[in-house]
């Protein structure tokens, strides 16, 4: 157990390091813009907003919020303080709404959409990949090119294809939004049904993309494992094929879990774009609105939240990995 504790503490420390780094990047990058960031923000804002008092209020609030007149180190701590309190200031494009409110309204949609989709895609993809490696022959020959092709479609491409086929041509599912535009969110049967039908297309577009990439990785891992000495030895011993396949699957799965931890950021990025295609009311669409509205505080907050989500997911997967891989306990105990 001592070995595990060391592993967890190590991962936890790393999580905090990356967290600080994420804050730093989010803090520094916009300050690389030439000139006073608050003035730049206000200038951009003035193009899109007619409410003069609103502009003035935002300018003053941001000078205070960013503390641009103070030294940069102090600014950073002010920024951290605000972020920890969940205070991202006002949204430019949706003034007088607060950025925190805008995000609170959309983050649930994204969480409910992306994580189930990525996990389902991961499970199906890995099963298919392992099956292809084990069966070889026709199944493998068909699966590999299809997987390569699917995983090379840009995420929004898959979304567009599903949208056009199932939404526009067949009209099986609605094409945009998170629920019917004529409904008010409530716990009624109509509303839930509407949410479920709106969920399908974005969900499957993310799942399909994940399947493609995972199947390819799992296939090569499993082929590698199938040629390993322990498999040959088990065969000599006369162990049942099914048992051997289970060993192979388990061993090949471990690197796939690490792969998931490392790829989660990319997947979330792709899924955000898929959300946009379906105008799903999650963070992706919020981000798009922020960009269209030149709404810097909103963009900054959304990117920070996305980074945090990816970091937390990464951390959780690595903790899970620690439990699954027997080598970790052994290696750290030395």
Partner 1 sequence: MQHTLRQIFRSGKFVVGFSIFAAILLIVTIYPLLVRESPLTIIGQGTFFPPGIYVSVYDSLTSPRYTLQLDDAAAKRLASRLSDDDRLAMKEWLVGAGLLESEIDTTDTARLLGLWEATYDPAKRIPGLTNAKRNYYVRLDASLDGLLATEGLSLATKDPQTGALIETGQVAQTDYANVSQVANLRVLALGTDNFGRDVLTELVTATGVSLQIGIVAGLVATLIGLTLGLLAGYVGGLVDDVITFVTNLFIVIPSFVLLILISFSIGQEQRGAFTIAVVIGLTGWVWTARAVRAQVISLRNRDHVNLSKLSGHSIFRIIVADILPYIASYVVMALILQISSAILAEAGLSILGLGPRTTDVPTLGQMMNWAFIYQAYILGKWWAYLPALAAIALVSFSMNLMNTGLDQVFNPALRE
Residue of 182, 253, 268, 178 whose CA lies nearest to 218: 253
Of the pair 191, 200, the CB lying nearest partner 1 is at 200
Q: Is the peptide bond before 96 cis (omega within 30 degrees of 0)?
A: yes
**Paired strand residues for 98:** 90
Using rule CB under 8 A, residue 12 touches partner 1: no
Based on the shown chain and the rule CB under 8 A, indicate whether residue 160 belongs to the binding site for partner 1: yes
- Interface residue with partner 1, options 17, 72, 239, 320 (CB under 8 A): 17
| 49 Ramachandran zone, left/alpha/beta (phi>0; psi -120 to 50) | beta
Structure tokens belonging to residue 207: 């799942």
Please, what is the minimum distance in Å from the beta carbon of residue 189 to partner 1?
27
Span from 61-69, 107-115, 270-278, 321-329 in contact with partner 1 (CB under 8 A): 270-278
How many CB atoms lie under 10 A from the CB of residue 158?
22
At 90, phi and psi to the nearest 5?
A: -85, 150
Closest to partner 1 by CB, 191 vs 228, is 228
Other residues' Cβ atoms within 10 Å of the Cβ of residue 102: 24
**CB of 280 closer than 8 Å to CB of 217:** no
- Shortest distance, position 187 Cβ to partner 1, whole Å: 30
User: Can residue 170 be called a binding residue for partner 1 (CB under 8 A)?
Assistant: no
Q: Which residue from 73, 168, 184, 187 is in contact with partner 1, where contact means CB under 8 A?
A: 168
Least separation in angstroms between CB 248 and partner 1:
14
Two tokens, residue 174:
């609605």
User: Exactly one of 12, 292, 331, 333 binds partner 1 (CB under 8 A); which one?
Assistant: 292
Using only the alpha carbons of the chain, give its radius of gyration. 24
CB of 332 to partner 1, least distance (A): 18
Looking at the Cβ atoms of 211 and 287, the one nearer to partner 1 is: 287
41, 102, 222, 287: residue in contact with partner 1 (rule CB under 8 A): 287
Q: How far apart are CA 142 and CA 134, in angstroms?
A: 14
**Is residue 314 near partner 1 by the rule CB under 8 A?**
yes
Which one, 137 or 238, has the nearer CB to partner 1?
137
Main-chain phi, psi angles of 96, to 5 degrees: -90, 20
Cα dist from 90 to 5, 65, 101, 295, 331, whole Å? 42, 10, 9, 10, 49
CB of 112 to partner 1, least distance (A): 19
List interacting residues with partner 1 (CB under 8 A). Answer: 14, 17-18, 21-22, 25-26, 29-30, 32-33, 144-145, 148-149, 151-157, 160-161, 163-164, 168, 175, 220, 223-224, 227, 262, 265-266, 268-270, 272-273, 276-277, 287-288, 291-292, 296, 299-300, 303, 306-307, 310-311, 314
């Amino acid at each position: 157990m001592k070995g595990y504790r060391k592993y967890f503490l190590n991962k936890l420390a790393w999580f905090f390091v990356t967290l600080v780094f994420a804050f730093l990047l989010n803090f520094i990058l916009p300050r690389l813009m030439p000139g006073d960031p608050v003035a730049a923000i206000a200038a951009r804002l003035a193009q899109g907003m007619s409410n003069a008092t609103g502009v003035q209020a935002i300018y003053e609030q941001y000078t205070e919020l960013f503390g641009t007149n103070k030294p940069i180190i102090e600014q950073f701590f002010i920024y951290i303080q605000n972020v920890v309190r969940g205070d991202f200031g006002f949204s430019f494009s949706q003034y007088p709404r607060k950025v925190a409110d805008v995000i609170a309204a959309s983050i649930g949609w994204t969480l409910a959409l992306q994580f189930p989709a990525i996990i389902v895609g991961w499970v199906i993809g890995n099963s298919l990949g392992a099956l292809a490696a084990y069966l070889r022959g026709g199944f493998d020959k068909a699966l590999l090119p299809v997987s390569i092709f699917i995983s090379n479609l840009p995420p929004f491409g898959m979304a567009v294809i599903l949208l056009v086929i199932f939404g526009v041509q067949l009209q099986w599912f609605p094409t945009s939004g998170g629920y019917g535009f004529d409904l008010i969110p409530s716990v009624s049967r109509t509303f839930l049904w509407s949410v479920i039908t709106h969920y399908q297309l974005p969900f499957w577009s993310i799942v399909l993309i994940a399947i493609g990439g995972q199947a390819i990785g799992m296939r090569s891992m499993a082929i590698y494992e199938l040629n390993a000495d322990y498999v040959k030895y088990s065969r000599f011993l006369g162990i049942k094929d099914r048992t051997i396949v289970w060993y192979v699957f388990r061993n090949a799965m471990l690197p796939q879990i690490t792969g998931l931890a490392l790829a989660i950021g990319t997947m979330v990025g792709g899924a955000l774009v898929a959300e946009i295609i379906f105008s799903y009311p999650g963070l992706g669409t919020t981000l798009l609105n922020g960009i269209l509205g030149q709404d810097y505080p909103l963009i900054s907050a959304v990117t920070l939240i996305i980074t945090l989500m990816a970091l937390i997911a990464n951390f959780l997967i690595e903790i899970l990995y620690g439990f699954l891989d027997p080598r970790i306990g052994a290696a750290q105990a030395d």
